[in-house]
Structure formats: C-alpha cells, structure tokens
Structure 1
Amino acid sequence: MLTSHTSANGSLRTVSRRIEHSSTYSFPVEQVHAGLTTEQYWRDRIAEVGGPGATLDEVTTGPGTISVSMSQSIPAEHLPSIVAKVRSGDLVIARTETWNALDGGRASGTFTARVTGAPAEISGSQTLTSEGSGTKVQVTGKAEVKIPLIGGKIEGAIGDEVLRLIDKEQEFTQRWLGA
C-alpha cells in the first residue's frame, strides 16, 4: 500500500509517501529471526537480489541483534523517466537495516535508504511477529523527495520500486530459510 501525506516546510513544499507492506513466512518466528540476524543471510541476500555492484558494507551483530549497511545501485536504463529527467546516471542507494532481539515472539527493527547525491530518503520501522505456526513481517515507512513540483511523482516511482524490491527480498528469504 502506498499512501501520501503532505506537509509544508518553509517555502519548500515537502511531500512524503507512506509505504506499508506485510510479508508472511511459513517458518516459526524464532527461525525467521535467527536467519535475519546472521551475517551469512545478508551476504547471501546481497549476492542474489542486491543488483549490479551491490556491496555489504558493514555488519554488526550482538546477542540476537544485527545492524547492516549496504550499497545498491539501479542502472540508469532501469530508472523511471521522471527520475532520469532530474538526475543522470545510475542511482546509488545507501541502505541500513536493523533487527532487535526477539522478545516474547516479537522483534522490531528499522530501515533507511538514501539516494547518494539526491534529496531522497526512505525510512521506517519493521516488526516481526508470530502468526499461527508462521511469521509475519510488517513494514511501515515513508519515501520523501525534497524537489519542488515533481518530488511527489518521484516519490511514487521510488515507492513502487521499494515495494518490488521488498517482494524480491521476501521471496529470497523464504527460499533461504527453507534451504
């Protein structure tokens, strides 16, 4: 689901698009959390669905926790025309993702994605919960592009791409947990 929220910020109008997505896995919450908090999962995920030139830049683990920094790029030829009009070349995206320890069948985390050299950012939270014998991951956030007049159109394009990427990452996670 992609919804919008508009606010005023001085003379620059800032539009943000709300992002909501949920994923379900057929594995118990403990197994999903254990996978998401291992470095090997992230190495495998970036290799399979990270795209051209993707790198895993930093991984910090603790007891049941993880913080990951990665870089991904979208080749210029795959960018929506509205994005190509305001920024030439490949889009480089710096991403972070965190997961906290599992507590009572629930874990929370955060995510960010910033477009290098552009006033575009996606940020939000994620929650991992038990659902029957499986697991549900709920993602909520916002995409924000601070470009007058066309920022909202770019946010829509970015939001759509983020949702497609989340779907690919979900498919990978389901396969990886089953391996």
Structure 2
Amino acid sequence: MARRIPHSASYPQPVDQVHRAVTSERYWRDRLDAVGGGGAELRHVATGEGTIDVEMAQSIPAEHLPAVVSKIRPGDLIITRTETWGALAGDSATGTFSARVEGLPGEVTGTLTLAPQNTGAAITLDGRVEVKLPLIGGKIEAVIAEQVVELLDAEHDFTEGWIAAAN
C-alpha cells in the first residue's frame, strides 16, 4: 500500500525567477552542496531551453536511521534521486521526481507544479512512497514520507535564500 506525500512550498519571488533557479545547473550544484549531506554528488545534468533533467545521489548515515530500516537494510542508505522540469507554459511549469534506495524494494515518485500564488509563487508536490515488503512496508513508508518532507522543507529554505541572493 502506497503512502501519499503532499507538500507545498511558497516563495515570495515570481514564477519566472523560481523557474530560472530550478532549471539552472549552478542552483543544483549549490543546493546539493548546502543540503545534500555527506557524499552527495550530482551524477547527471542536462539542460535545454528552460528545461532541466537532474540525477543525484545522497546518503543517510546508518546512525540516523530508525531500527525498522536498519534491520532490513544495514549500513548507510544511498539514495538516487531524479528531478525534471519543463519549460514555462504561460505562468506555470511542471516536473517529475523520483527516488530509490539501493537495496530496498521501494520508490518515491511524483509530480511537481510551479504556479503563481498571491504575489509570489508556489511549488506543489504530489508524491507517493511505496515499499513492497510484507508486514513492515507501511512502517518504512511512514519513515520515508517523514524524511522526504523534512528534506523538502530544507530544500525550500535553501531555494528561497538562493533566489534572493541571485537577484
């Protein structure tokens, strides 16, 4: 059974500034340096006319993992994440994201929407996490969903500051 991960992040900056940031290779390198954790790396970046396709790897040290996760997957967790953003279409843009953990039968997937909100912009994430393990899959999904939201909040804080500094 999959668990939904709804999340929304508001920005005081307009859509075009937020979009310019999330489709910039420099932004991704800086974001990974700031909030990616130890051993984080940008594995692939492809940019186009207002578009981007990113793949990165991040790790969570074993000592920060709950026991339910450590029992089935000992050691540090290596997470491979992808994110894509399309070009602006009017005053909005859409994207997709995914994440998978090496050695665990599960994934996080979803869509992203960047749109105007009041005098700024918002990125709305509609995601889901699914771990295909009998009996304990739901517990692990809950842990992952919580961790994803914490990471999204940290990435939002970074993004807001990065855009303000760039303008």
TM-score interval (norm. to shorter): over 0.9
Give 1:146-165 correspondences, 5 Å limit. 146-165=132-151
For the pair 1:119 / 2:111, whether they are aligned, the reply is no
Cα distance per residue 1:12-64 (max 9 Å; x no partner): xxx11000000000001000000110000000000000001000000000000
Give 1:9-158 correspondences, 5 Å limit. 15-158=1-144
Residues matched between the structures, number: 165
Selected match of 1:173 from 154, 159, 166: 159
Cα distance per residue 1:60-110 (max 9 Å; x no partner): 000000000000000000011110111100000000000000111000000
Residue 173 (structure 1) shift: 0.2
SS in 1 for 2:2: strand
Uncovered stretches (5+) of structure 1, i.e. residues with no partner: 1-14
SS in 1 for 2:81: strand
Uncovered stretches (5+) of structure 2, i.e. residues with no partner: none
TM-score, with structure 2 as normaliser? 0.98
Q: Percent identity?
A: 55
SS in 1 for 2:89: coil
TM-score, with structure 1 as normaliser? 0.91
What is the distance in 1 between the residues matched to 2:128 and 2:88? Answer: 25
SS in 2 for 1:129: strand
Q: Which moved more, 1:165-174 or 1:80-89?
A: 80-89
What is the distance in 2 between the residues matched to 1:90 and 1:73? Answer: 7
Cα distance per residue 1:113-163 (max 9 Å; x no partner): 000121020000000001122001100011000111000000000000000
What is the distance in 2 between the residues matched to 1:122 and 1:153? Answer: 15
What is the distance in 2 between the residues matched to 1:27 and 1:20? Answer: 22
What is the distance in 2 between the residues matched to 1:27 and 1:151? Answer: 39
Give the aligned residue type for 2:102. T
